Amino acid sequence: MIQDTEIRHWQRPLQFSPTAEQNHLAQKFNVHPLIIHLLELRNIAGSNEIERFLNPSLAFLPDPFSMKDMDTAVSLVSKAIKAHAEIVIWGDYDVDGMTATCLLVKFFKKIGIHARWNIPDRFSEGYGLNSKGIEAIRSDIQTDLPLLITVDCGISNHAEIQRAKELGFNVIITDHHEPPEISVHADAILNVKQECCTFITQDLAGVGTAFYLAAGIRSRLNSEGYFRDGEGAPNLKQFLDYVSIGTIADMVPLSWINRILVKAGFEVLSVCPRRGISALLRSSNIGAGTITSDDIAFQVAPKINAAGRMGKVDIAMDLLLCDDENKASELAGKLTELNSKRKKICRDILESTLDIDPNRLILNNNCIIISGDFHQGVIGIVASQLANRYNFPAILFTHDTSKYGKSVLKGSGRSIPGIDLFAVLCQCDRFLLKYGGHSMAAGMSLFEENLEIFKNRFSGILKEEMVKKQKSDQFIIDAEFSIENLFEEGVVEQLQTLEPFGIGNRRPVFSDAKAFIYDCRSLGHNGDHLRLSFRCKYSNRQGMGFNLGHRKELLREQSVHHTIYTPSLNRYRNTVSWEVRLLDIF
């Protein structure tokens, strides 16, 4: 049985004592001084920056034509529309890819254009473009010069794009993954990470890139007088629900541009979600009102992802595109059931990995690499669970149908903050058949006979990186602030103004050296989690300690403990309440 090797090095908490300037700014923005303190810790200081952060506006978004190849891409779309040529959207089977696909399909529909969509099957076709799929679509198209637009994929599909060109397609690639050294020969490439792109950020998700293509098309068609006889140019904010879900799910940094897009998308989700998404929110016990990043990351996104992971992507796509309330409810139910099956498979795989001897997981070599007959659709989730649990990069391999005459393993990896997984894989490329991804998540495949040499190379490269990381690795505490004061001074509600939380905008973490715990129970499979009750002066508070079940022996009834925590919204049977999310306890 693997032992929990994680050692948390908590930074010494800052005693919160507001300065005169913090009090002044707090009064100006009508917030508690703690909010100003939290912003300053995130390098957001001064009236102008605070105003932009607390009140992000779509007016601050950069011009779509500042993105490399946008002018060419928009011209190709305009040409296709005028020629009545067929438009095909080719997406990916994860949440980012599905929401990006839906965004463009809905956008084109809004401007009176039918666009067909295609998302490959994870198991029979794999990620990205494939020539057989392109050929099948082309055989069903009657018009000349059809337009193929990829979303969240395509940046490395050299042969497939060449085949599409041979079949008469014009090709626009929209992607956000790392570009290869030699660019694909598409007619236009929208990827903020490509060389010479002057767009203000490199952090757009695939759905964010698709949104910018829609913005560019809208601008061009408007200037050409396309909307004069209709309802006018569509309001692009209506598509930001897709952007917020895809961006949060793909865990891209919530930089300035993404914050604007996601914040506005949350407003759409809170006020007037489309029917399919509304049914999905209801099935997740998320009623009308404020939407949080946790709602998306832990409730909505996993259900959408389950469809792709279980080979049923059509269920999620039909739901996200659905305009019929009854049909949406039916589809949401199917998606919820599918996600339950996915959870059980993940739980079984995780339990099987936890029974493996630690030496086989090469924990001493700074990573976890496991191979087995696992369900291909969920190995990334289990890799993420292992990486989070042990604070090591983790890769799970499973057997794949070989196209090479010998055994092939397909893998999915997840990293930890401070370790660029994609960069490490780039240094192992001679042992891989193919790979792709970004710093925190990647996929790869290799011949099974190369697994051991890959392990040695991968862990060897990691060794130096992990030493650098561990020297500076501390879990940050924003302030010493008691649970009682946070909840009873009305501060906790104001923390909502800092949403959305995620990479690039971490959730606030507090320390309470004198938290009084009067009840503690084990919950979950094998008692993995803790349900706690905290005594406060005016109103007791409930709390959850996920994956802290092993700490129960430290607790005694009616006892005072030093706790590290963050506040969290708890939704239960149409009621919403604030509770303590326990991160650590001493």
Q: For the residues 64-92, what does the mean pLDDT come to?
A: 97
pLDDT band at 474 (very low <50, low <70, confident <90, very high): low
pLDDT exceeding 90 applies to what percent of the chain?
59
pLDDT exceeding 70 applies to what percent of the chain?
93
- How far apart CA 498 and CA 540 sit, in angstroms, is 25
Q: Nearest CA to 466 among 379, 371, 583, 362? A: 362
Please tell me the predicted confidence (pLDDT) of residue 7: 39
* Residue 384 reports pLDDT greater than 50: yes
Amino acid at 494: Q
Amino acid at 434: K
Please tell me the predicted confidence (pLDDT) of residue 417: 79
Torsion on CA atoms 89, 94, 99, 100, rounded to nearest 10 = -40
Helix axes 206-223, 240-249, angle to 10 degrees: 160
Greater model confidence, 228 or 214: 214
CB within 8 Å of 124: residues ≥ 6 apart: none
The lowest-confidence range among 197-206, 294-303, 363-372 is 363-372
DSSP at 357? -
* Residue 203 reports pLDDT greater than 70: yes
pLDDT band at 585 (very low <50, low <70, confident <90, very high): confident
- How far apart CA 52 and CA 508 sit, in angstroms, is 19
pLDDT band at 173 (very low <50, low <70, confident <90, very high): very high
Q: For the residues 571-582, what does the mean pLDDT come to?
A: 82
The pLDDT tens digits of the residues spanning 255-314 come to 899 999 999 999 999 888 899 999 999 998 887 567 899 999 989 999 999 999 998 999
Q: How far is CA 497 from the centre of its chain?
A: 20
Please tell me the predicted confidence (pLDDT) of residue 557: 63
- How far apart CA 167 and CA 187 sit, in angstroms, is 14
| Mean pLDDT, all residues of the chain | 89
* Residue 362 reports pLDDT greater than 90: no
For tokens 């925190």, what's the residue? 440
Q: Nearest CA to 500 among 110, 315, 240, 288? A: 240
Domains delineated in the chain = 60-255 (3.90.1640.30), 273-348 (no CATH), 356-472 (3.10.310.30), 477-585 (2.40.50.460)
Please tell me the predicted confidence (pLDDT) of residue 3: 39
The pLDDT tens digits of the residues spanning 6-54 come to 435 677 766 788 899 999 999 999 999 999 999 999 999 889 999 999 9
